[in-house]
Every structure is written in C-alpha cells, then in structure tokens.
C-alpha cells in the first residue's frame, strides 16, 4: 500500500482548503454573471468581487480601491515593474532590485534593460538581507522604482520593508515588494511598511491558482500592460475570474483568522526539521535562523551530493521537496539566490528546500527527517569523495570533488 | 421564472467540466515543473490537456500557449507579433473587440501604427477593403471570426488567404466562433488564433493562443519558464483541465448544439417579429445562431432592460465594455448606427440549453414593457 505523501513544497503551491472550494463552487454554477452586466446576475457577481476586494485589501492595510486583481503574482510583478517604468517621466530611467529576486521580477527588469533602462542588482549579505545603506548608495536622481522581495522564495529571508521603504519614500522613489511568499505568513502592512506596490497571490495560502493581486497606493501612477475593457479601475482588463477571486478572499479570511497560531505552528515544525537535519554531517542552513525567516521555509545544503538526486530519492520515499527555485528547476544553472548569498556552485546544487503549510505535522517532520538521513547516507556512499568517509580533512575532499566536476 | 440571455458575457460551467476540474481543485498537484510525484502528475495533466486543446484546433501541442483568457490572448497576439518587428503597421477592422483596438492604441505609443478597415452596415469586412488597406508597412492583421455583439460572421478564411499571400502574419479571434464552427488551423492558413473556455461551457479566465510553429513572438508576462518561456506565471491547472474538457465536449456535441441554437434562434426571431418597429441587426443568413442584436427605435434600452430585470429576464444593452464605459457600442457605430439607435439596442445571447419557454416568457414580459415605455414617451 502506498504511504501517504508528505508534501513539503508549500512555498511552491499549497492544496486548496475545502471551505475555499465550497465558497467558489456556486460562482461556477449559479452566480455566473459577468460583473460588467447590469442585470441581477451581473450585480451579484460585481458585489462578490467588491466584497473580496475589501476583505483582501483590509488584510494588507490597504483601501479596497488600491487593489487590482490579476491572473497571477507573476502578472502583478510585471504590471508593477513595467507599469511603473512606462509611466515614469522620461528622465527617470533607473531601477533597483536585488540579486535574490524571483524570475518574475528579474525577467521584467532584464526586459527593461533591453529597452534602454538601467537596472542595479543589489548584493545581499550571507543571510540574504539587503542593506538600506547599499540601497541608499545605489539611488540616483534617475531612479524610479525599487523592487525588493519581502519573503524570499528559496531561503526564507524576510526583509525589513520599513527600513528599505523609508529610503525610497525619502527620495520620492516608488517601492515595490513581491509579497507572494510572505502574505498571510508574516505581518505586512502597506502603510506602516512604506510600500507603494505589493504583489500577492492566492495559491500559496490554500487558495485557488490563476488569481493574484497588485496593491497600488492611491496616487501612484502606473501604466497597464494588458489592454481591453476598463475592469479593475481600468488597470487590468478581462472578465474577472469571479470564483477564484471569491476563493482568494475566503482563503485570506481563513489564513488571517489564525495567523499568529498558524505561523507559530509552522515555525515549530520548521525548527524541528532544521534541528534534525543539521545533525547530518556537512549540512548547513541557508538564510537566517531567527524571527526574520519565513515560518514556512527551511533550505538546507547537503554537501558533496546533488540536490536533484536527493529530490528524486525522497520522492520515491513519498516526500515532496524542491531543489533550487521550483521555477528554474528545469534549468541546470545554479539558483541565483544561493549564489548571491555566497554558495559555491556545487553547494548550490546540493541544496534542498523544505516548505511547510499549517497542515503539516511534527510527525511528518520526523518521518521526513529520517528519510532525508537515509537518502543522504545512500548518496554519499555512492559519491566519489566525502570528507570523514574517504579522508579526515574537509579541504582535501572539496578539492577532489571540484576536480571531479571539472572533468565533465 | 428567471430567464438568462447573456451567455456570451457569462455562462455557467457544464457539470461535466466541473467534475473534471474537481480533483485538481482539491489536490495541490504541485508545480508541473517540479520533479516530485505531484509535480509529475501535474505535468502529465498539463500535457494531456494541451494535446486536447491542440486537437480541437488541429494544431500540435507545442503550438498552444495557455493564458488567462481571450483578453490576454488577444493582447499577446497583437503586441507580441508586431513588436518582434522594429516598426510596422497592424491591420484590423473597426468592429474588433477592445482587447485588440486598445492594444493597437498602446502600440502607437511605441511607434507602431494601425490601419482600421471599415465594415459594411452588417458589420462585415469587405475583402476588397483588405487589399486596399494592405501596404508595405503592414506586418500583422487581426480579425475576429464572429462579432460577439451581433453574431456577424467574417470571411475569415478569405481574409487569412489574402493577408498571408502578401507575407503578412495573420491572427484570428475565435473566442465566439469556437461555439459554432469546427476549427482547423492547418487548413485555415493562419498564424495565431485566440480561443477561450468561457464561451464553451468551461471556466472563466482561461484561454489559449495558438501560435504556428516557428512564429516569433515577444512574450508579455515574463518570469518563470512556463509555456516554453512565451507566457510566465503559475499554470492554472484546474482551469486548464476544465478548458480541455469543455473543448472535448464542444467537439463531440458541436452539431447537436448548433442545431439546438439554430432552432432557438428561429423561435426567438419569430417571436421578436411580433413586435412592430423591431429591427434585427446584421441579420444575414450566416449570422451565428443564438446571438441576436436588435433595436426598437424611440425606446431607451436601459429602461427596457430594467423592466426585464425586475421580471427576472436578463439581457444586455451592449458589450460588457460598452456597458462599463457608458458609451454606445463601437461595433454599432462602425455599422453606421446613430447614437440614438445604439441606445435603443438590446442584445440576446442564448445557450444550447436555453428553453423555448424561456424565450416565450421573455416575450410575454417584453411586450407590455414596451407598451408602457411607448406610452410614457408620447
């Protein structure tokens, strides 16, 4: 009989909760009107979208009219970055971001570079933090936007938005944050955190896929990137995904009802896993180990073995994790996040992300930790060289490993 | 009894489509890019769905790009296919949806231009006009197969032939047409085609752009490597699965649905003809059955719709876009209607599941409402 899967890939996507599905279903079958239509069914749909907007905006500390629903957080990031750049006056041609951003921030930045904008990619420290001083130094009179991820998708680092936001606000530069991972896991208040634009989505907090949102502080001008009918305050056209928007709000309501307790629970099992896994020789945690880490994330490097191999063997044992950023799992280039915090390429390749939701249990952690130990031992027994097994000196082992790699 | 006549703007999902979606709504199913088991299951479901959508169009799976719906597909097509050129012109008709016309306006800010082909009083594109408007700057042409407001059917295959024989890329919008006609992109000589699930008994906010193999496109949403880098963002797998199921059903039931809609349309027309002074727009034999736009001069359709709404009869005065903008429909304007005539217009769109009795119910409310409004206006 197959064992129940242990799903530790919640920073990628989470299972939808039953009450969320139940909230959505009537909007597929009964309340299917187009919110733009003026008849009863249209008005019902419009009312549902409007209530959802108020609910979600409230959890961000925003006003309902400051929230634009999109098809994903990727779209929200594109809209924020491209939209701000295209709306900026001609002399504002410079943007600042960090080296640990998600591809949905980095790739729009690269696009802007091709179009003649200048982009500064800020270094981070060994735990993934952006320094407000570095940000200050990177600012120029041409700077129009700063985009720094709130909770990092890979190593869980949670930036102090307020410190970064203050640098931006002082200079009249827009501040965007990708909060897809952090929303509903750590506190985020767009007013207190001095944020002008923030991207969020539903499927990372047990809501549906296919829906995200961008907070746009009132008075901030961006240009839309999709054209059509004037939905979403004329910022995002297309018939609203009403069932998913309703599901988004329901997922947010449930998440925020027990925010502190759920975060504590996740942090407890996270630390339980980290403690057990760091007992494995030649392993280390990436990202901070304090309150400035997403409660849902543990990212651990197991030296001298390939993350892909660990992932595969864990998958065969019913444990789902990811290696590198899930979105770049198809590529063989090491994660930009891990190399930015100073990991060598071979160590970046040996890193595994364990990510939790409130549905995970301590029991799952214990089972998973045991399986990780088995897999790491197995793989290291097959690998060319591991210090402690093949030699007493770690340095020698690394040299040997590196030599092996170069032969390929 | 309520009766709904706004199926092009919003439709219920077919219960069989919901059934197909439910497992994917309930389980995490992971990221199709992930290598673990749920990720692999997701990748498999994504691939199978892509094959089904491709089969619906007679395309190959790699030619399908999933999007968040018709609006995004149209934007991606128009912007993505034109901006691979440093400059050039888009050829489109005056009755295209706003997702095309507004995208064209935004392209003008980037130095591209648009040439709008006029339409005749039925909203149809004259092929001679296509030839007249093509010039050495034209790089892309785009036309909707069926006009959503009036049901007018464009000679899409002939337009595609003319355009492509001049070496110009052609994009078609089959958002509405997919309800009615079999689609064969190979036979049609087309480079890109928009379809979406919402008009076919599938979920809202999911669509696709067919893109002929080898056609260069500039992506619009950038990020992860989804959709072969042509459209980033987490795949909306439950909706994609539902989309594919809706297309399967549309294919197997197309003839039956078409016959039903034809019959319903005939009945609707017959009953509307009982009302004096009622004019049906673009009422050609080719009109897509079940999409009917008409006007009763001297009557404000908004007032009429309110009366209908109170009786549980749901119809509209124009496209969602026109409604939101409180502006007369650009489609009716392009057909030569005056603002007053446009403001007297009421649109009905039926489903294959619409009942004859619903049409009769609507007529029985419409007649006295008209009498009342006429009495007030004189």
Structure tokens at B140: 């892309």
Beta bridge partner(s), residue A352: A300, A323
Domain with CATH 3.40.640.10 in chain A: 18-256
Measured in Å, how far apart are chain B's first and last C-alpha atoms? Answer: 31
Interface of B with A in 102-161 (CB under 8 A): 102-103, 105-106
- Predicted confidence (pLDDT) per residue in B132-189, tens digit: 999 999 999 999 999 999 999 999 999 999 999 999 999 999 999 999 999 999 999 9
Residues of B in Cβ contact (< 8 Å) with A225: 220-221
- Predicted confidence (pLDDT) per residue in A272-320, tens digit: 999 999 999 999 999 999 999 999 999 999 999 999 899 999 999 999 9
> What's the topology of domain A18-256?
3.40.640
Alpha carbon distance A70, A82 (integer Å): 14
Structure tokens at A14: 């989470």
The chain-wide mean pLDDT, for chain A, equals: 92
- Residue A151 is classified by DSSP as B
* Closest Cβ opposite residue B314 in set A40, A225, A242: A40
Domain with CATH 3.90.1150.10 in chain A: 258-407
Decide if the complex's ipTM is over 0.90.
yes
Residues of B in Cβ contact (< 8 Å) with A36: 9, 320-321, 323-324
Question: Do B205 and A210 make contact, defined as CB atoms within 8 angstroms?
Answer: yes
- The packing angle between helices A18-29 and A242-257, to 10°, is 160
Alpha carbon distance A295, A297 (integer Å): 6
> What proportions of chain B, in percent to the nearest 5, are helix, strand and coil?
45, 15, 40
- Predicted confidence (pLDDT) per residue in A129-175, tens digit: 999 999 999 999 999 999 999 999 999 999 999 999 999 999 999 99
- Predicted confidence (pLDDT) per residue in B363-375, tens digit: 999 999 999 998 8
- Helix (H) or strand (E) holding A368, with range, is helix A362-382
User: Out of 3.50.50.60, 3.40.50.12160, 3.40.640.10, 3.40.50.1970, which CATH number does the structure's domain B15-252 have?
Assistant: 3.40.640.10
- Predicted confidence (pLDDT) per residue in A183-215, tens digit: 999 999 999 999 999 999 999 999 999 999 999
Question: Do B12 and A28 make contact, defined as CB atoms within 8 angstroms?
Answer: yes
Report whether B129 contacts B117 (CB < 8 A). yes
With a cut of 60, say whether residue A403 has pLDDT above it: no
Instruction: Categorise residue B303: left if φ over 0, alpha if ψ from -120 to 50, beta otherwise.
Output: alpha
Return the biggest CA–CA distance within chain A: 78
> What's the topology of domain B3-11+254-377?
3.90.1150
The confidence band for A404, taking pLDDT boundaries of 50, 70 and 90, is: very low
Alpha carbon distance B283, B294 (integer Å): 9
Which pLDDT score is estimated for A1? 37
Q: For A258-407, which CATH class?
A: alpha beta
A225: nearest CA in chain B?
Answer: B220
Alpha carbon distance B179, B198 (integer Å): 10
One-character DSSP codes across A167-219? HHHHHT-EEEEE-TTTTTTS---TTTTT-SEEEEESGGGT--SS-EEEEE-TT
Distances (CA, A) of B281 to A10, B278, B327, B378: 53, 10, 18, 25
- Min Cα–Cα distance to chain A from B199, Å: 12
Alpha carbon distance B261, A62 (integer Å): 47
A71: nearest CA in chain B?
Answer: B68
Establish whether B321 is a catalytic residue.
yes
Q: Where are the domains of chain B?
A: 3-11+254-377, 15-252
Kindly report the backbone phi and psi dihedral angles of residue A284, in degrees, each rounded to the nearest multiple of 5, phi listed first: -150, 155
The confidence band for B310, taking pLDDT boundaries of 50, 70 and 90, is: very high
Any residues with CB less than 8 A from the CB of A350 and at least 6 apart, and which? Answer: A301, A302, A303, A304, A305, A306, A307, A310
- Predicted confidence (pLDDT) per residue in B9-34, tens digit: 999 999 999 999 999 998 766 777 77
Q: pTM, whole model, 2 decimals?
A: 0.95
A36 at interface of B, judged by CB pairs closer than 8 A: yes
The confidence band for A401, taking pLDDT boundaries of 50, 70 and 90, is: very low
Closest CA to B207 of B199, B217, B197: B197
Which pLDDT score is estimated for A334? 84
- Predicted confidence (pLDDT) per residue in B116-133, tens digit: 999 999 999 999 999 999
Alpha carbon distance A176, A165 (integer Å): 9
């Amino acid at each position: 009989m197959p064992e129940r899967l242990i799903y530790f890939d919640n920073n990628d996507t989470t299972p939808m909760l039953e009450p969320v599905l139940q909230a959505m279903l009537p909007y597929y079958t009964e309340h299917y009107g187009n919110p733009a239509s003026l008849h009863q069914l249209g008005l019902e749909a419009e009312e549902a979208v409007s209530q959802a907007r108020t609910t979600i905006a409230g959890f961000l500390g925003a006003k309902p009219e400051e929230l634009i629903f999109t098809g994903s957080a990727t779209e929200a990031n594109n809209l924020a970055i491209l939209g701000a750049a295209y709306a900026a006056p001609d002399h504002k041609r410079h943007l600042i971001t960090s080296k640990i951003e998600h591809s949905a921030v980095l790739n729009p930045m690269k696009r802007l570079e091709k179009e003649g904008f200048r982009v500064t990619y800020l270094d981070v420290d060994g735990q993934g933090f952006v320094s407000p001083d570095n940000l200050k130094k990177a600012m120029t009179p041409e700077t129009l936007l700063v985009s720094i991820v709130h909770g990092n998708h890979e190593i869980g680092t949670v930036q102090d938005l307020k410190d970064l936001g203050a640098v931006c606000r002082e200079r009249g530069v827009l501040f965007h944050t990708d909060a897809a991972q952090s929303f509903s896991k750590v506190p985020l208040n767009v007013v207190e955190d001095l944020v002008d634009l923030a991207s969020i989505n539903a499927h990372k907090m047990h809501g549906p896929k296919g829906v995200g949102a961008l907070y746009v502080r009132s008075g901030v001008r961006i240009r839309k990137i999709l054209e059509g009918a004037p939905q979403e305050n004329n910022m995002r056209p297309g018939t609203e995904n009403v069932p998913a928007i309703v599901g988004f709000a329901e997922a947010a309501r449930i998440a925020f009802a027990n925010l502190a307790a759920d975060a504590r629970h996740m942090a407890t099992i996270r630390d339980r896993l980290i403690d057990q896994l760091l007992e494995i020789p030649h392993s280390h945690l990436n990202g901070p180990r304090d309150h400035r880490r997403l409660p849902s994330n543990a990212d651990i490097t197991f030296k001298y073995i390939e993350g892909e191999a660990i992932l595969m063997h864990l998958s065969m044992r019913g444990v789902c994790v990811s290696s590198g950023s899930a979105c770049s799992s198809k590529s063989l280039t090491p994660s930009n996040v891990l190399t930015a915090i100073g990991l060598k390429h071979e160590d970046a390749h040996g890193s595994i992300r364990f990510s939790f939701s409130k549905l995970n249990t301590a029991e799952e952690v214990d089972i998973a930790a045991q399986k990780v130990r088995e897999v790491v031992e197995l793989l290291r027994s097959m690998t060319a060289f591991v210090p402690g097994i093949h030699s007493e000196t770690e340095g020698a082992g690394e040299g040997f490993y590196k030599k092996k790699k170069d032969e390929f | 009894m309520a009766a709904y006549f706004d199926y092009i703007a919003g439709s219920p999902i077919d219960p069989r489509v919901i059934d197909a979606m439910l497992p994917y709504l309930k389980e995490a199913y992971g990221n199709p890019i992930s290598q673990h088991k749920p990720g692999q299951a997701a990748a498999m479901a994504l691939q199978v769905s892509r094959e089904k959508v491709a089969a619906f169009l007679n395309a190959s799976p790699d030619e399908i790009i999933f999007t968040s719906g018709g609006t995004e597909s149209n934007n991606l097509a128009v912007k993505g296919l034109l901006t691979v050129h440093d400059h050039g012109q888009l050829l489109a008709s005056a009755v295209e949806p706003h997702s095309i016309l507004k995208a064209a306006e935004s392209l003008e800010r980037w130095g591209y231009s648009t040439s709008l082909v006029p339409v005749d009083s039925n909203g149809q594109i004259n092929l001679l006009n296509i030839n007249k408007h093509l010039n050495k700057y034209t790089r892309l042409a785009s036309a909707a197969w069926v006009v959503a407001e009036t049901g007018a059917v464009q000679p899409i295959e002939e337009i595609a032939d003319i355009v492509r024989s001049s070496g110009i890329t052609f994009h078609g919008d089959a958002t509405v047409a997919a309800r009615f006609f079999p689609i064969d992109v190979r036979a049609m000589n087309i480079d890109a085609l928009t379809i979406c699930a919402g008009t076919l008994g599938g979920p809202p906010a999911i669509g696709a752009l067919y893109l002929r193999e080898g056609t260069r496109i500039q992506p619009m949403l950038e990020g992860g490597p989804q959709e072969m880098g042509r459209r980033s963002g987490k795949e909306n797998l439950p909706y994609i699965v539902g989309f594919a199921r809706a297309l399967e059903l549309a294919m197997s039931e197309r003839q039956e649905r078409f016959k039903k809609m034809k019959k319903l349309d005939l009945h609707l027309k017959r009953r509307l003809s009982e009302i004096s002074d009622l004019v049906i727009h673009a009422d050609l034999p080719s009109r897509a059955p079940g999409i009917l736009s008409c006007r009763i001069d001297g009557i404000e359709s908004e007032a009429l719709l309110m009366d209908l709404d109170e009786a549980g009869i749901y119809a509209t005065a124009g496209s969602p876009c026109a409604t939101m903008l409180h502006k007369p429909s650009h489609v009716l304007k392009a057909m030569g209607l005056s603002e007053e005539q446009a403001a007297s217009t009421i649109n009905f769109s039926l489903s294959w599941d619409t009942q004859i009795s619903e049409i009769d119910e609507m007529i029985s409310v419409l007649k006295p409402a008209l009498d009342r409004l006429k009495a007030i206006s004189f």
